[in-house]
Structure 1
C-alpha cells in the first residue's frame, strides 16, 4: 500500500478520478512522475485561469519572496496589500464606476461566503437567506445551508437552517417564470417564508451542472432583492475573474450586487486568497468582529495584483475568451447534435450532457486515458464540464476538444452497440 492510501483520509476525491502522481505543471499542461503530460481542462477547479506557473506571475512572486517580503501579517498594512487595493481601484473599479470596500475574510471561497452571510444578517437584522436550487457555495456550515446538493449537505451532520431554497432560472423549463413565483411567496404573509436578509446566487452554477442565468432573470432578481429590503450577494468565486469573458460574470446584465464574493482565480496563481466586496454603506463590521489568522496572505496579494495589472487593463483577454468559447461550443454542439445531447455555459465554462447520466463520468475517464483532465458536474455528475485556462493556446484547446470528441465517440458507440445487442435478444 502506498503512502497516500496508508496515511491520507478517505475523504480525498479528485485523486480517485485522476489516479496518477503529478510532479510538475506549466501553462495548460500537468505532468506526472513518469513524464506523461496531460492537457488541463480542469484548471484547479477554476483556480488557474492563467495556467500553471504563469511566467509573469511567477517572476513577481519569486522577486517578492527573494526580497524577504512579508508573508504573514494578519490584517496589518503591508506594501503588497496597498498595491493590490490600488490595482483593484484603478483597473477593476474605476473603469466600471464601481465603488466597493474590500474585506479579506480568510483564504478560501467559503470564507468569503460566510462573511457575506454574516454581514447581510447584521445589516438587515434578518436571518433568512434565499438561495437557489443546484447552487453551491462552500463546505462550511453557513455555506452548506445555502447549497442545494443533498450529498454535500448531509456531510454537515447537523441541521442546516435560516435559508430558503428557490428555483433557479429555467429550473422547471424555459417558460416557467420563477421570479414571479418567488415574488408570490414573499408577498404572501402566509407562505411561511421569512423576509430575507439576502439573495445569494451564481450567474453560472458551475458545480450545479453549468446552469446559466439569463440577463433578464438576473436583473429581475436584483430588483426583487432591492424591493424586499434584502441584499444581493453575487458568488463569483468560480465564474468570475474573466471565466465568462469580462472580469465579473454579472457585468453583461448591468446589475450592481451589494456584496461580491471572489476567490479561486483571484490570486491568479493558485495561492489561497478570497475577498468579499461590499458597497460602502454596508461596511458594518466593527474592528475584529469577523477575522481570521490567514486573511493577510501577502504572496497572494502580489500575484493577484500582477494578474489584474497584466490581464485586465484592456479587453484583449476578454475578447480571447469569447473566441475560445465559440470554439468549445461549436465542438460540443456537433457532438450534441449527433448523440442527442444538450449544451450549456458561458465563456470558457461549458458543459455537455447526454440522456444517459452515467456517460459524463465514463467520458472523463476515457479522456484521462488519452491525456486530458476534465471533470464532471451536476447533482449526479451528469454533465461533462470544461474549464481550460483562459490563456490556453488555441492548438492545445483544439487538441483537448479532439480528445473529448474521441472519448464521446468511444462511449456513445459502445452505448448504441449495447442497446442494439439487448434489443436483438428474443
Structure 2
C-alpha cells in the first residue's frame, strides 16, 4: 500500500470521502493513457490488429471481474455505467415483467437512492409493494428481522452489501439462503463493499449484484452488473442499437446477440473498462484481506479518538467497516464539512443519498468519514487536533 501511487495525496490533502469516490492510482491513469496513445480503436467492430488488441483487453477484463467476484462464467458479467445504471437495467429489464401487482420487494430505510427509487417507480407503474425490513437498535439488518418481513407475496430482497451512511455490513450469505428457501430473488448493491472486502457471489449465492468502478479505485462512468446466467439471460436490453444485435431486416425483424453482448448496446466505455482492469489488478496485488484488516483497525482508532471529544455524536460506533457517521453537536453538518475543508480535510456531509434514513436517526444530515487503505493514523490525529479546537469551530462557522 503505497501512498505515492496517488499523486493527489502529495498536495497536503487529507481525503476522507472514499465512500463518494476513491482516488485513482497511477496505474489506472496509465492504462487509460496507453489505450489512447497505443491502440485506440473500437471494440468488437474492426478487422485489424488495433481493434483485435482492444477486443482482447476488453474481454480479459470481463474474465478478471469474473474471477474477482468468483462468478461462474465471464458471460455473467455485464459492463454498465455504474451502480445506478445496473440497478435500473435489472429493474426495468427483468423485474418489471417478473413481478406482478401486490408482489413485495423488501429493502431497508438505510438503502441508497439507487436501491430505492427504481423500486418506487415499479410500485407506481405495476402496483408492487415496497416494504421495509426493520432495523435493530444499532440500525443493522438481522436474519430474524428479515425472516419476520417475509410473506408469501415476497419476491425480491434487495439490499446493500454495506450501507453508505450507517456502514453496516449485511450477512448476505445467510440472507440469501433464507431468500432462496422461500423462492425469493436476492439482489445486492455492492457499491460500498466491493473495494473493502472479498465478495464471493457463488459462496454468498447472490442472484444479481451491481457495483461501480469509481468506488474501487477505477474510473468514473464504468460499472458492473453480475447476474446468474439463467436470470441474466431473461433481462431485456436497456439500450437498443449497434453492437447488441446479430441482424435486423427492413420489415422490423431483430435478432439479438447472446448475453452479455446484448446488454451492452452502443460503443462501450472502453477506457473505463481498461482502467477498471488496472484497478482490480491493483487491489489484488495488495490483497483484499489485507485491505479489510487495515481499514477495520484504522476505523477503531478513529472511533476511539472521536469518542474522546464530548461535543461529537457518533451514530454508528459499533459498526466494523470503513464508514463513520457523526455530527459536531449544535453545528450543521455542511458547516462542519466547510470548516474541515479550511484545513484540507475532505469529508462528506448531508443525507448521502439516503434520504429516508432520517426516519431512523431522527436527523437529516451527518458528517461522514469513509476510510481507505491510503489513509493513516497520522491523518486521523490531524483531524482530531482540528476538531479539538472547538473555539475555532464556533468562531469560524458561526
Q: What TM-score does the superposition give when structure 1 sets the normalisation length?
A: 0.67
Does the Cα contact within 8 Å between 2:106 and 2:156 map onto a contact in 1? yes
Paired with 1:412 and 1:197, the residues of 2 have a C-alpha distance of: 54
Indicate conservation of the 8 Å contact 2:337/2:348, yes or no: yes
SS of corresponding position for 2:220 = coil
May I ask how many residue pairs the two structures share in their alignment? 345
* Conserved 8 A contact 1:235-1:261: yes
SS in 2 for 1:341: strand
- Give how far 1:375 is off: 0.8
Structure 2 segments unaligned to the other structure (5+ residues): 46-50, 241-263, 352-357
Query: Match for residue 131 of structure 1?
Result: 107
Pairing 1:210–2:166 present? yes
**Alignment match of 2:376 (pick from 370, 390, 397):** 397
1:37, 1:315 → 2: CA distance? Answer: 24
Following superposition of structure 1 onto structure 2, how do residues 334-413 of structure 1 map, counting pairs within 5 Å?
334-339=305-310, 341-342=313-314, 343-347=317-321, 349-354=322-327, 356=329, 358=331, 360-376=333-349, 378=351, 379=358, 380=363, 382-390=365-373, 392=374, 397-411=376-390
C-alpha distance in structure 1 between counterparts of 2:331 and 2:126, whole Å: 30
Deviation string, structure 1 residues 56-109 (Cα, Å, up to 9, x no partner)? 1222221111124235779x99233212112223x425xx47557435364132
Return the alpha-carbon distance in structure 1 between the equivalents of residues 206 and 60 of structure 2. 24
Match of 2:247 in 1: none
Tell me if the contact between 2:337 and 2:349 (Cα under 8 Å) persists in the aligned partners.
yes
Any residues of structure 2 matched to 1:73-112 within 5 Å, and which? Answer: 78-89=55-66, 91-93=67-69, 96=70, 98=72, 101-104=75-78, 106-112=80-86
Q: 1:174 to 1:261 in 2, by over 3 A?
A: closer
What secondary structure, in the 3-state scheme, does the structure 1 residue paired with 2:76 have? Answer: strand
| Cα pair distance change 1:358/1:338, threshold 3 Å | closer
CA contact (8 A) 1:363 1:411 kept: no
Could you tell me how far 1:376 is from its partner in structure 2?
2.6
Match of 1:199 among 146, 157, 168: 157
Matches within 5 A, 1:235-250: 235-240=189-194, 242-243=195-196, 245-246=197-198, 248=199
Query: Is contact 2:96-2:122 (8 Å) kept?
Result: no
SS in 2 for 1:262: strand
The answer to whether the Cα contact below 8 Å between 2:83 and 2:212 also exists between their aligned partners in 1 is yes
SS at match of 1:285: coil
Aligned to 2:210: 261
Deviation at 1:114, TM superposition (A): 1.0
Q: Work out whether residues 350 and 365 of structure 2, in 8 Å CA contact, stay in contact via their aligned partners in 1.
A: yes
Unmatched 5+ stretches in structure 1: 1-24, 148-157, 188-194, 416-426
Q: Aligned residue for 2:276?
A: 304
The answer for the alignment partner of 2:40 in structure 1 is 69
> In structure 1, what is the equivalent of residue 148 of structure 2?
181
Q: CA separation in 1, counterparts of 2:122 and 2:366?
A: 22
Q: Which moved more, 1:301-310 or 1:286-295?
A: 286-295
Residue 255 of structure 2 corresponds to: none
Looking at structure 2, the residues matched to 220 and 413 of structure 1 have their Cα atoms a distance apart, in angstroms, of 48
Cα distance in 2, alignment partners of residues 169 and 295 from structure 1: 42
Alignment of 1:29 with 2:8, yes or no, is: yes
Match of 2:130 in 1: 164
Distance verdict in 2 for CA 1:231–1:411, change over 3 Å? farther
Partner of 1:15: none
CA contact (8 A) 1:120 1:197 kept: no
SS across alignment from 2:279: helix
CA distance in 2, matches of 1:359, 1:411: 14
Q: Write out per-residue CA displacement over residues 309-360 of structure 1, whole angstroms, 9 at most, x where no aligned residue.
A: 3322x6635313422331232222232254263325444x221425847454
Check conservation: 2:107, 2:116, Cα contact below 8 A.
Answer: no
- RMSD, aligned α-carbons: 4.0
Offset from partner CA, 1:274-322 (integer Å, 9 cap, x none): 221011221233774655666711111111122223322x663531342
